[in-house]
């Protein structure tokens, strides 16, 4: 038996703290911004059922694998993969899987922070009653004024990055754990309030029917792949966050039970967001498949014409900020952990260093919406001819780096890591439950992830899938 490693960063106080932290990482803009509109675009209930099946078959097995690797390595993803490859007698090049995860988190946070800044700005606009009585043209103008002003975008981006750095600098228990103990329950309280508001809207039954009544004539093969891709991305897999959080997991906590709990809570948030949003959409005669603009350009119209709309609009955007914040601290944590381990920095210096680097790289995204909006770096490649720098970053991370990261995590955990080591770490014995996980991760999950990857990179002819981050 290999001697157990210990994390120099400390550990969660218990299983609940890890569940809250990993749930906070998984619950992000993807649950509240993306899930409702892709469900709307793909027919509602049938899509939801396929999505739930994909969470069970793809999401949970890969999450178990990533948490397992993290807890066994007890270090940043880079050093964890180096140690585990050495332990398994495998090629040391597996450490690059850790580097890929850290890099993915860095790139995602660089633009995620800018989008989260939009939500911050909308909190104050909603609270000030800016949306009250506004027309569709007026709302569109508000959004264009925000994104078209680089100084304003920079200010919100800076504020959000400072919020993130402050939490991470305080450490595992004093920073990360204390933040998620407040923010994750607050997320659920806000969702319950918004669901109660939707219940009184007069179209709650219509929203429930749309979300939970399956009509399989409305789901296509491409819709199945969209559900599969979103199930993967929404759980924060392949970006180092779950691996580094797993490295702080207490030894006695069950990886299987915690992974299932996290997946359940993450899915619950997405469904509760749908139950809050669709009744508001229907009662105002809006289009449920309105696409990415549903949150920032469509819903403000509804809030502006509803009784109490200013209050509940404010609560909704506070919810968005909290969801983005819990994800952001997990995205920067792998880089901070590596700097502490390999450069001898304190957490404060490591957080400032990683935060400033991420903030500076985020300037590319800030400028992509205004000054550099017409700059298309890969205009000479047909598929990318209309992509700004922001579009390219989103495509690279969500459609290439994360699927490949998840695929190689699955491959390492069952094709490279010794079976006895995974049996020991998962603590399920050589039972039928372990056997099911082993078969899913060894065969089913890699094929499913590979299909998503081939589709989103255009290597198979199924159009329309656009992977987004959690």
If pLDDT is split at 50, 70 and 90, which confidence band does 87 have? very high
We report the CATH number of the domain holding residue 247 as 1.10.4160
pLDDT value of residue 105: 93
Quote the pLDDT of residue 456. Answer: 60
In a domain, residue 146? The reply is yes
Give the model's pLDDT for residue 426: 92
User: How confident is the model over 16-26, as pLDDT tens digits?
Assistant: 999 999 999 98
Distance set, CA 452 to CA 65, 100, 183, 437, 441 (Å): 19, 19, 32, 20, 15
In the predicted structure, residue 222 carries a pLDDT above the cut 80: no
Domain contains 470 = no
Contacts of 39 (CB under 8 A, 6+ apart): 47, 48, 51, 211, 274, 288
Domain assignment present for residue 1? The answer is no
Average pLDDT over residues 447-455: 77
Percent of the chain residues past pLDDT 90, beyond the cut: 55
Q: Is the pLDDT of residue 466 over 70?
A: no
Tokens 């001697």 appear where?
3
**How many structural domains compose the chain?**
1
Measured between alpha carbons, how far is 327 from 428 in angstroms, rounded to an integer? Answer: 29
Average pLDDT, rounded, for the chain: 88
Q: Do the beta carbons of residue 357 and residue 106 sit within 8 Å?
A: yes
Interacting residues of 7 by C-beta distance below 8 A, sequence separation 6+ = 74, 75, 247, 248
List all residues 6 or more positions away from 343 whose beta carbon is below 8 Å from its beta carbon. 350
Summarize pLDDT for 240-295 with one digit per residue, the tens. Answer: 999 999 999 988 889 999 999 999 999 999 899 889 888 888 887 777 766 666 78
Residue 6 lies in a domain: no
Radius of gyration of the chain (CA): 21
Q: How confident is the model at residue 451 (pLDDT cuts 50, 70, 90)?
A: confident
Span 353-375, average pLDDT: 96
Confidence of residue 459 (pLDDT cuts 50, 70, 90): low
Check whether 370 has a pLDDT greater than 70. yes
Between CA 294 and CA 372, with CA 135 as vertex, the angle to 5 degrees is: 60
pLDDT over 70 (residue 359): yes
For residue 425 the two structure tokens come to 């770490």
With 0-12 / 13-18 / 19 or more C-beta atoms within 10 angstroms meaning exposed / middle / buried, residue 251 is exposed
Residue 352 has pLDDT above 80, yes or no: yes
- Residue 396 has a CB neighbour count (10 Å cut-off) of 15
Q: Give the domain range for residue 301.
A: 15-456
Each residue's pLDDT tens digit, 89-98? 999 999 999 9
- Residue 463 lies inside a defined structural domain of this protein: no
Give the model's pLDDT for residue 467.
Answer: 40
469 in a structural domain? no
Instruction: Check the CA dihedral 279-281-284-287 and report its sign.
Output: negative
Task: Choose the weakest-confidence range: 1-10, 55-64, 203-212, 438-447.
Answer: 1-10
Exposure pattern of 30-40 as b/e (b: 16+ CB <10 Å)? bbbbbbbbbbb
Give the pLDDT confidence score for residue 463 in this predicted structure: 43
pLDDT in tens, 32-76: 877 887 888 888 889 999 999 989 988 999 999 999 999 999 999
Note whether residue 8 is domain-resident. Answer: no
In-domain check, residue 193: yes
Contacts of 97 (CB under 8 A, 6+ apart): 77, 81, 405, 408, 409, 412
pLDDT in tens, 166-184: 999 998 888 999 999 999 9
């Amino acid at each position: 038996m290999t001697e157990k490693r210990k994390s120099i960063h400390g550990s969660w106080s218990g299983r609940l703290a890890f569940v809250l932290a990993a749930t906070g990482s998984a619950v992000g803009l993807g649950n509240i911004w993306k899930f409702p509109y892709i469900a709307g675009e793909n027919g509602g209930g049938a899509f939801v059922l396929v999505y739930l099946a994909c969470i069970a078959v793809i999401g949970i097995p890969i999450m178990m694998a990533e948490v397992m690797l993290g807890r066994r390595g007890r270090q940043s993803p880079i050093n964890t993969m180096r140690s585990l490859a050495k332990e398994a007698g495998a090629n040391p090049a597996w450490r690059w899987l850790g580097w890929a995860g850290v890099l993915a988190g860095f790139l995602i946070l660089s633009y995620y922070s800018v989008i989260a800044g939009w939500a911050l700005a909308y909190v104050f606009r909603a609270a000030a009653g800016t949306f009250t009585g506004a027309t569709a043209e007026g709302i569109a103008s508000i959004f264009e004024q925000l994104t078209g002003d680089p100084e304003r975008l920079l200010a919100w981006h800076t504020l959000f990055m400072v919020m993130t750095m402050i939490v991470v600098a305080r450490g595992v228990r004093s920073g990360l754990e204390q933040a998620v103990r407040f923010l994750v329950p607050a997320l659920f309280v806000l969702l319950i309030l918004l669901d109660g508001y939707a219940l009184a809207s007069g179209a709650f039954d219509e929203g429930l029917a749309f979300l939970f009544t399956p009509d399989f004539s409305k789901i296509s093969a491409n819709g199945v792949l969209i559900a599969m891709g979103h199930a993967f991305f929404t759980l924060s897999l392949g970006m180092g966050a779950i691996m580094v959080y797993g490295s702080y997991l207490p030894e006695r906590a069950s990886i299987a039970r915690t992974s299932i709990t996290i997946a359940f809570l993450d899915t619950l948030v997405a469904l509760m967001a749908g139950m809050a949003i669709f009744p508001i959409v229907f009662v105002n005669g809006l289009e449920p498949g309105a696409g990415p603009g549903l949150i920032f350009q469509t819903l403000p119209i509804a809030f502006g014409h509803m009784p109490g709309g200013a209050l509940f609009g404010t609560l909704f955007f506070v919810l968005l900020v909290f969801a983005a914040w819990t994800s952001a601290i997990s995205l920067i944590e792998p880089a901070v952990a590596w700097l502490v381990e390999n450069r001898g920095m304190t957490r404060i210096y490591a957080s400032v260093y990683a935060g400033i680097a991420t903030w500076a790289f985020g300037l590319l995204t800030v400028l992509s919406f205004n000054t550099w909006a017409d700059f298309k770096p890969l205009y000479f490649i047909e598929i990318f001819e209309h992509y700004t720098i922001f579009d390219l970053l989103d495509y690279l991370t969500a459609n290439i780096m994360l699927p490949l990261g998840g695929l190689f995590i699955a491959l390492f955990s069952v094709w490279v890591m010794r079976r006895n080591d995974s049996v020991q770490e998962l603590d399920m014995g050589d039972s039928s439950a372990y056997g099911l996980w082993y078969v899913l991760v060894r065969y089913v999950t890699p094929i499913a992830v590979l299909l998503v990857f081939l589709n989103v990179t255009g290597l198979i002819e199924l159009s329309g899938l656009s992977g987004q981050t959690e």
